[in-house]
Amino acid sequence: MSIFKGLGINSYYQECTNKSDNYVIFSIYKEQDTEIADNISNSTLYYVTINYWYDKSCKHLDKYKIIKEAMKSNGFKYDGCTDLVGTTHFCKNIDFIYKEWN
């Protein structure tokens, strides 16, 4: 996604192919038609999860706040955040909702 490129963070869809100190893996975990009239969907809601992985030194921890603000300023609605732990990295799992008009 160009949002992450602008922040200088490597991003991957569903699977990381080149782990670094910090990176993002994103995916759409739910998609649904909305604003339905006469059996025609006028918009689509996308539920997006962003997994921001950062090394356990935590020197990049605060970048998740920058990611959150960048997503919001690009039309995504913040929907919550949880912490995850990996072998070599910690993770902020951040959920967003995006509405696209058809």
Q: Which CATH number is 57's domain given?
A: 3.30.2000.30
The torsion defined by the Cα of 13, 10, 43 and 99, in degrees rounded to 10, comes to 130
**So what's the pLDDT on residue 27?**
98
pLDDT value for 17: 85
Q: Residue 65 has what pLDDT?
A: 97
pLDDT of residue 19: 85
Number of domains in the chain: 1
Tens digits of pLDDT across the chain (102 residues) = 789 999 999 999 999 988 889 999 999 999 999 999 999 999 999 999 999 999 999 999 999 999 999 999 999 999 999 999 999 999 999 999 999 999
Question: Residue 73's domain spans which residues?
Answer: 2-101
Q: What is the pTM of this model?
A: 0.92
Rounded to an integer, what distance in angstroms lies between the CA atom of residue 102 and that of residue 9?
30
d(CA 92, CA 65): 10
